[in-house]
């Protein structure tokens, strides 16, 4: 799974997803095609039932399409077996979920180290990289706190650090501010803005216009189809 350095981070070609068969079949995605370049900051928007969560699961290799195909960082996802998919998810994609998905009885530091542990990285290197990632999100003073000792915004920042620690090709964030108050939302969006300004490739799933306004490109889905794909100027992640 060697990356092609000049390849798009995401190259999605006519992807479809159908649940069920016959009269009860639901066509969640109807031929979605899109390309995400290195350094893009993309917001994928849509109402409930638009297909955005299905698309997120496929982009994150958590589900497989019914038809079409896609590449991540030059790798043809359809050609991979389950073991290879797990390796790709660990190395190429950093996930940030609405519900944080932190391990309750583990410190922030241990939570951030987890993807590196799964990837076979040695303890000393894990510790160094996890501390650096927590510092990047402003939590150097919370490394030994467990999730129940952290605010919602701090927990989401731990989750972002965990997503960054493997230096993934893609940061995939699914409604990352959905469980946060206004102040914490601003903190998380500021971190994503800074990451984008530093060249990080981000795909953000959201239904909120004010969150999508931080992205340099907005893709809107309706009934499983892309109905809008526009670039914005003057914001992080706009055309480079």
The answer as to whether 103 is a domain residue is yes
Strand 202-206 and strand 217-222: pairing? Answer: unpaired
* Range 113-123 average pLDDT: 95
The answer as to whether 58 is a domain residue is yes
Q: What is the mean pLDDT of the chain?
A: 93
The answer as to whether 22 is a domain residue is no
Domain residues for the domain of 104 are 39-64+82-231
- d(Cα 56, Cα 171) in Å, to the nearest integer? 11
Global confidence as pTM: 0.91
Using the Cα atoms of residue 104, residue 105, residue 109 and residue 115 in order, give the sign of their dihedral: negative
Q: What is the CATH number of the domain that holds 133?
A: 3.40.50.300
The answer as to whether 74 is a domain residue is no
Q: With a cut of 90, say whether residue 185 has pLDDT above it.
A: yes
- d(Cα 224, Cα 231) in Å, to the nearest integer? 20
Locate 43 and state its tokens.
Answer: 């917001």
Those residues with Cβ within 8 angstroms of residue 147's Cβ, 6 or more apart along the chain or in another chain: 100, 102, 103, 104, 106, 108, 111, 155, 158
Domain count, the chain: 1
The answer as to whether 12 is a domain residue is no
Those residues with Cβ within 8 angstroms of residue 172's Cβ, 6 or more apart along the chain or in another chain: 56, 59, 60, 93, 94, 95, 96, 203, 205
- d(Cα 85, Cα 80) in Å, to the nearest integer? 6
The answer as to whether 19 is a domain residue is no
The answer as to whether 7 is a domain residue is no
| pLDDT at 232 (0 to 100) | 82
Q: By the 8 A CB rule, do 236 and 216 touch?
A: yes
Tell me the per-residue pLDDT of 61-70, one tens digit each, with 9 for 90 and over.
999 999 999 9
The answer as to whether 34 is a domain residue is no
Tell me the per-residue pLDDT of 59-112, one tens digit each, with 9 for 90 and over.
999 999 999 999 999 999 999 999 999 999 999 999 999 999 999 999 999 999
Backbone angles phi, psi at 146, to 5 degrees: -85, 160
- d(Cα 162, Cα 227) in Å, to the nearest integer? 33
């Amino acid at each position: 799974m060697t990356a092609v350095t000049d390849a798009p981070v995401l190259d999605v070609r006519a992807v479809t997803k159908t649940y069920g068969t016959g009269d009860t079949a639901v066509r969640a995605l109807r031929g979605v095609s899109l390309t995400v370049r290195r350094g893009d900051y993309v917001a994928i928007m849509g109402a409930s039932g638009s297909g955005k969560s299905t698309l997120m699961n496929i982009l994150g290799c958590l589900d497989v399409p019914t038809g079409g195909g896609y590449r991540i960082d030059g790798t043809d996802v359809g050609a991979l077996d389950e073991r290879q998919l797990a390796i790709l998810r660990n190395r190429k994609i950093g996930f940030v979920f609405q519900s944080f998905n932190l391990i309750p009885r583990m410190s922030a530091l241990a939570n951030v180290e987890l993807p590196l542990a799964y990837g076979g990285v040695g303890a000393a290197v894990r510790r160094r990289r996890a501390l650096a990632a927590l510092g990047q999100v402003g939590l150097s003073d919370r490394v030994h706190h467990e999730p129940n000792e952290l605010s919602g915004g701090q927990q989401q920042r731990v989750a972002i650090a965990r997503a960054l620690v493997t230096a993934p090709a893609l940061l995939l964030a699914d409604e990352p501010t959905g469980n946060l108050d206004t102040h914490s939302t601003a903190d998380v969006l500021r971190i994503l803005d800074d990451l984008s300004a530093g060249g990080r490739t981000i795909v953000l799933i959201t239904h909120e216009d004010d969150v999508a306004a931080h992205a340099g490109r907005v893709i809107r889905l309706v009934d499983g189809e892309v109905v809008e794909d526009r670039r914005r100027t003057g914001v992080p992640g706009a055309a480079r």
